[in-house]
Amino acid sequence: MTARVLVVDDILSNVKLLEAKLTAEYFEVVTAFNGVEALAKVEECDPDIILLDVMMPGMDGFEVARRIKGNPKTAHVPVVMVTALDQPSDRVAGLDAGADDFLTKPVDDAALFARVRSLVRLKMMTDELRMRETTGQSMGLIDPAQTLIDNAPAGRILIIEDRPESVQWFMSALTPANEVAAADSFEEALVRVRGGDFDLIVVSLGLRGFDGLRLCSQLRSLPEGRNVPILVLVSDGDKRKLNQALEMGVNDYLTRPVDKNELIARVRTQLRKKNYQDRLRHNVQLSLEMAITDQLTGLHNRRYMARHLDNLILSAQKSGKPLAFLIMDIDHFKSVNDTHGHDIGDEVLREFANRISANIRGIDLACRYGGEEFVVVMPDTDIDFACTIAERLRHSVETTPFEISRAPNTLNVTISIGIASAQSEGDNAESLLHRADQALYRAKREGRNRVIKAAA
C-alpha cells in the first residue's frame, strides 16, 4: 500500500528521520516545518495522512489539527500526533482537537507503519464514498454530507469483555450518554452484532475464554459488522496484538489501564466518524435512487426503463414466457396545465402514478416516460391479461375524480393506453415501444379514453 504522507515538525532532523523511514517503505512524503506551512500543504498536496508534531512555535499541533478537522474539505484526512507528551491528559487534548492517533517519540518503526497503513486503509474507504457523493452533487441530486464536527455524538455501543467488573466500569463510564450492551462469549458477540445495529464495538484482547483477535476478524466478515468501528483494549506493551489488530482493520485502541477521559474522547471520535460515513453512504444510496427515479412521481424514470427493457425482453425470449408493454397518456393534459396551472398538473401526475402503482403487480416495472406519458412493463404476462389490467386502470381513472388542492377540488380525468407484446426473437426495446406507441396513437385518434392492442 502506498500513500502520500505529510510530515510536520519544526526540527529538521525529526523530519528527515521520518521521511527516510517512510520513503524506504515506498510512501510518498511531503514535509512542512510549521503550522502555517502545514495548512498550506494540506490544501495544495491532498495528503492521505498527516504526521503532526505537537510542540511547535507559533501555531502548535493542537491548533493545526483543529483547523484541519474544522475544514469540510480536509476533515476526513487522518491526523497522527507525533509527540514526546505521553500522559492521558495530553492524548485527550489531542483527541478533542481532532487527532486520530498518537505516536510517542522516539517513534517505533513497527508502530509507525502499522498506524499509517491502518489509517490510510480506512481513509481510502471514505475517499471512495466521498467521490461517489461528489458525483451525486454534480448532478444536483444531493447535498453534501456534514463535516466530522459533532460535539456530542451518541450511539449504541457493544462491550465484548468476560470480566464482569470491567464491563461494569465501561458501562458506568459510557452511560447515560450512550446506549451500552455487553457480551461475554464468542457466540453471543456474533449474535448481538448480527441483530444489534451498533455504532461502535469495544473488544478486549485480553479475553480469558476466547481469542479477541479472531473475534475481530469474524466481526469484519459479517455484513452487519463490516462498517461498524471496532475499538480494542490491549495491555500496555503488547505491541504484537495491537499491530495485528490494526492490520486486520480495527479502527482504534486503548491501552490498559484505561483512562476514563481518554475512553470517552476516543469513543466520541469513532462515533463522529461513523455518523459521517453513514451520512456519506446514505447520500450515495440516495443519489443512485434519484438517478433512476422520477422525482415528481416516485416511479422509475425513462433512463432506467431504457437500460432494463432490452434485458427484460431477452429474459422473456430465453424463458419462452410472454412480456407485455403498456404506454399510456393522460387525455387533454395540456388543458389541465393551461386552466389550473402547472402545480395542479403536477398533482394530477402524482395521483395518476399512484393509480398505476395500485393496479399493477410487484414484478411489473412502472416508469414515467416523459411529460404526461407513462409506461408499464409486465413480465410473464400475455397481451389479453395486460388488456384486463389496462382496462381496470382506465376505469379507475375515469370513474374516480382526482382530488386537487384548489377549486373545483376535483378533476375528471381520462387516459388512453396502447399495448404491445414481445413477439419474436428479433424483438427489441425499440420495436416494442414503436408498436405500443402506434396503438396509443390509434386510441387517441379513435376518441381517447380507451385501450388499444397493437396489430399482430
Catalytic center residues: 372
Residue 72: cis peptide before it, omega within 30 degrees of 0? no
Whether residue 263 contacts residue 234, with contact meaning beta carbons closer than 8 Å, is answered with no
Phi-psi region of 360 (alpha: psi -120 to 50; beta: other; left: phi over 0): beta
Whether residue 88 contacts residue 262, with contact meaning beta carbons closer than 8 Å, is answered with yes
Alpha helices in 77-139 (DSSP H): 88-97, 109-138
Whether residue 280 contacts residue 133, with contact meaning beta carbons closer than 8 Å, is answered with yes
User: What does the DSSP assignment read for 369-386?
Assistant: EETTEEEEEEET--HHHH
| Residue burial 60-90, b: 16+ Cβ < 10 Å; e: rest | bbbebbbbbbeeeebbbbbbbbbbebeebeb
Identify residue 370 by its one-letter amino acid code.
G
Whether residue 249 contacts residue 118, with contact meaning beta carbons closer than 8 Å, is answered with yes
d(C-alpha 391, C-alpha 397), whole Å: 10
d(C-alpha 56, C-alpha 70), whole Å: 20
- Evaluated on CA atoms 38, 39, 44, 50, the torsion sign reads positive
Whether residue 432 contacts residue 325, with contact meaning beta carbons closer than 8 Å, is answered with yes
